[in-house]
Amino acid sequence: MRRAFAAGIAAALVAAPLAAQTAAPTAPASPRHPNIVILLADDWGFSDVGAFGAEFATPNIDALAHAGMRFSNFHVSGSCSPTRAMLQTGVMNHRAGLGNMPETIPDAHRGKPGYDTVMNHSVVTIAEMLKAAGYRTYLTGKWHLGSDPTRLPEARGYDRAFSLADAGADNFDQEPIKGLYDKANWTDNGKPGVLPKDYYSSRFVVQKMIDYIDADRASGKPFFASVNFLANHIPVQAPDSDIARYQAMYREGWTALRAARAKRAAALGIMPAGAPMVTMATTPDWQKLDSDERKAAVRVMQAYAGMATAADREIGRLVAHLKATGDYDNTIFVFLSDNGPEPTNPYNRLRNRLFLGMEYDTSIGNIGRRHSFSAIGPGWASAAAAPLSGYKFSATEGGLRVPLIIAWPGHPQVRAGAISNGLAHVTDIVPTLTDLAGVPGHGGSWGGRTVEPIAGRSLVPMLAGGAGSVHGDAPIGYELSGNAALFRGDYKLVRNLPPTGDGQWRLFDIAGDPGETRDLAAAMPDRFAAMKADYAAFAKTNQVLEMPAGYTADEQINLYAWRQQGRKRAIQAGLVLGGAIVALSALVWLFVRRRRARRVDQANADMIGT
């Protein structure tokens, strides 16, 4: 149906942990310490921001890009939860418990070390670090790192949180992704959360954050705000006015859009000029679609663009509020996506079409609106990732390379308007923010207990305009659902299992060939062999498991969904059967009681007669 996939990048192997404190800091932060705002988009592809090549409007994100630095070679996991765990902790996803997600883990891996499917208790979150240093800490929106009371944001360092424990949910109503979840698991400071009647996801997560910031303003403490959008995760939904804005666009199809985006990215300096591209085998031929298929495809991309613009507008509203309150100039902003664009077509199976047709209004005119269930599929996902190869769930650059913007308006530590093409990784965000804020991190000990050390490195030298990457030639490993990669300098070793790939290792120069079009394994056998050895060492250190024969994440997510439905149907059937048994028992009891009553009455009548 739809996937809430996972894939992590792990480099604890040789990247030296950030040197820091060995115990939890206790000194309060000075009001001069910067506020920090993380803006985490969901399933946005590499060129899904105007400042990275998008054609739809993201003026407020673009403004942050020009006020700060864009990173054109920044990597995350191929799916949400592993990225979120690394973003929260600076620790590689397997070490943090997210070797895979609940929705995609094969049964054989459940309970194995590193495969908790939730963020474990061996890591320290950035919220805990900042809170210990005197920050106010808030989170709104998608969490997806655990739902029991010990794993919700309130238990992981956040003073206030209104969070969603699931991979996604409806954007207009308090409804789940039907078929995958029985309910939308929103919590409000640890208790069941109730959404307002005028709820729209992007507007809500920003307004709730503004309310949190303002409520504690009198404390004088700096704040850390983690805003986690549902946009643009399935279901793709947007306000009518935002969809209408793009009604004249996207009629030429995804292949034309992919080419246009690649050209813009090169013109912006985000991608090398003339970088070659591949055409993904899963990209449908636009010319072979019938009239209704094209209408539906055009409409869903209009909704996708509208959803992104709606999120951007809310980011602008938050920025405007911080300017009005005098907080803007002393606030660090971080914008990123959790993985590449979503290629899943939830209507690619008959049983899915039948189920979704019963649960949603699937008419073309309702695509992207309330009660709809829409997804852009592999065609538009190929454009969203342009000019890269692949998309979410895979180990391709299209799955792992996403936009990153870091801005500290007017502050000399962040070079305004610059672009860095040096390799950067999601585990680098925590040490970068603690470095900029002047807040201690940790070196593997926290509050008297041993914890996983931070694996990332501070990007501050790159933010100041330093050339290259803070990682130098150190290897950074990655694995999720058998798709794997090893980054080292400008080179990437990569393997994708079926159906995305053929399971063979390949070697690419991702600086000059970010589209992964030229396999260098035969031309550089020594490097190829050395990087395969690096990956083997990484996999051993991180206890990476091989996938069971025949496993595909697509089949696993569908199996998960249908198991959930099976459990739901079984419960419903049990309730119906139980109700029937109770009703039948009641009827039998009434029948017996009446017969006894009639016998007593007859006996009394006989006695009176005698």
Q: What tens digit of pLDDT does each residue of 99-121 get?
A: 999 989 999 999 999 999 999 99
59, 316 Cβ separation under 8 angstroms: yes
DSSP string, 273-342: TT------TT---GGG--HHHHHHHHHHHHHHHHHHHHHHHHHHHHHHHHHHTT-GGGEEEEEEESSS--
Q: What percent of the chain is modeled with pLDDT above 90?
A: 82
Residue 572's pLDDT band, with cuts at 50, 70 and 90, is: very low
Any idea of the CA torsion for 460, 465, 466, 467, to the nearest 10 degrees?
Answer: 130
- The pLDDT of residue 610 is above 80: no
Whole-number Å distance between alpha carbons of 313 and 414: 24
Looking at 33, 80, 233, 425, which residue is catalytic? Answer: 80
Spatial neighbors of 134 by CB under 8 A, at least 6 apart, are 27, 28, 29, 30, 33, 221, 222
**348-357 pLDDT, tens digit each:** 989 999 999 9
**CA distance from start to end of the chain:** 78
Looking at 33, 75, 94, 144, which residue is catalytic? Answer: 144
Q: Which amino acid is at 281?
A: A
Q: Computed over its alpha carbons, how large is the radius of gyration of the chain? A: 26
Instruction: Tell me what pLDDT residue 190 has.
Output: 96
Instruction: Tell me what pLDDT residue 573 has.
Output: 43
Q: What φ, ψ does residue 301 adopt, rounded to 5°?
A: -70, -35
- The pLDDT of residue 1 is above 50: no
Q: What φ, ψ does residue 100 adopt, rounded to 5°?
A: -165, 170
Q: What is the average pLDDT score of the chain?
A: 90
Q: What φ, ψ does residue 214 adopt, rounded to 5°?
A: -70, -35
Whole-number Å distance between alpha carbons of 167 and 12: 26
**497-515 pLDDT, tens digit each:** 988 899 999 999 999 999 9
Instruction: Tell me what pLDDT residue 32 has.
Output: 79
**307-345 pLDDT, tens digit each:** 999 999 999 999 999 999 999 999 999 999 999 999 999
Provide the CA 401 distance to its chain's centre, in angstroms.
13
Distances (CA, A) of 4 to 431, 502, 537, 546: 27, 23, 28, 20
Show the tokens assigned to 379: 């065609």
Q: What percent of the chain is modeled with pLDDT above 70?
A: 87
Structural domains in the chain, CATH included, are 8-541 (3.40.720.10)
Instruction: Tell me what pLDDT residue 597 has.
Output: 56
For residue 600, the surrounding DSSP H or E stretch is helix 553-609
Mean pLDDT within 392-410:
97
**Among the listed residues 404, 426, 389, 393, the one whose alpha carbon sits nearest the alpha carbon of residue 508:** 389
- The pLDDT of residue 569 is above 80: no
Q: Is 144 assigned a catalytic role?
A: yes
Q: Which amino acid is at 475?
A: P
Residue ranges of E strands in 109-175:
136-142, 160-164
Instruction: Tell me what pLDDT residue 584 has.
Output: 57
Q: Is 94 assigned a catalytic role?
A: no
Mean pLDDT within 555-562:
81
Total residue length of the chain? 610
When comparing pLDDT for 27 and 82, which is higher? 82
156, 85 Cβ separation under 8 angstroms: no
Whole-structure pTM value: 0.89
Q: Which amino acid is at 140?
A: T
Q: What φ, ψ does residue 228 adopt, rounded to 5°?
A: -115, 100
